[in-house]
Amino acid sequence: MRFHEEGGWLTVVGVAGEIAAQGGLLRSGPSRLQAHQPFSEFSARLPRLGVLLVRAAGPDDAVAARIRAFFRAVAPDVAIREIASVDAQLDRTLAGPRFNAALLSAFATLALLLAAVGLYGVLAYAVRRQKREIGIRKAVGAPRGEIVRSVVGEALTPVAIGTALGLAGALAAGRVIESQLYGFPARDPLTFVAVVGVMLATALVAALIPVRLATRVDPMVALRAE
C-alpha cells in the first residue's frame, strides 16, 4: 500500500504485531500506533546515530574486541559509543522497576508480619477472657476436645470471613495492577495461598495455645481466679 504524505509517498510493506515499544515492561499508557521506517530514511535526519545488534558467542570482552576490530577494518571513521550485551541492557532497564518491586515486597512482608502479630494478640486475649466460661463448661462435664473445637471455631470464623473479603479485594485490585504490566500477571496464586495460610495459621495458633492451657487448669481454680 502507498500513502501520500507531505514530501512524498509512503509505502507500507508489512504490519507488525503488538510490541512493548513505549514504557518497556511497565506500560506508561495505552498502546499507540507505531511505524517502522527504513534506516536509510531515518539516518538522513540523524546521520551519526545508530544501533547495531550483533549475534555472537563467547565472553563479552572477547566479543566486544572482535566488534571493535571489525569496525576499525571496514569503517575506521565510525565512533563506537558503547558495546553491551542484551542481558546487560535488560538489567539496566529493569534496575529501577526491580528496586521498586523489592521495596514494595519488603513493605508488604512487614505489613503481613504486623497483621499476623496483631491478629495473634487480639485472638489470644479474646480466648483468655473465656477462661471462666471454659472452667464452667469443664465443671458441667463438657469434653475437652469439644471445648477446644468450639473456642477455636469461634476464633477462626471472623478471621476466615475477613480473609475471604481481603482476597476478593486483592483479586479486584489485581486487575488494575495487571493493566499496568506487560506480559506479567499481577495475580499470583502462590502469593495468595501463602498470605491466606499465614493468617489462618496465626489465628489457629493464637486460639489453640490459650484454650489448651485453660483446659488443663482445674475448673475450681479457674473459677476462683475470676
Q: 122 or 78: which carries more pLDDT confidence? A: 122
Q: Which distant-in-sequence residues (6+ apart) come within 8 Å of 115 by Cβ?
A: 199
Residues 167-221: pLDDT tens digits? 888 888 777 776 655 555 667 788 888 888 888 888 888 888 877 777 776 666 6
Distance CA 80, CA 67 (A): 10
Asked if pLDDT for residue 111 goes beyond 70, the answer is: yes
Mean residue pLDDT across the chain: 76
What type of residue is 86? V
Output phi, psi for 112, to 5 deg.
Answer: -65, -40
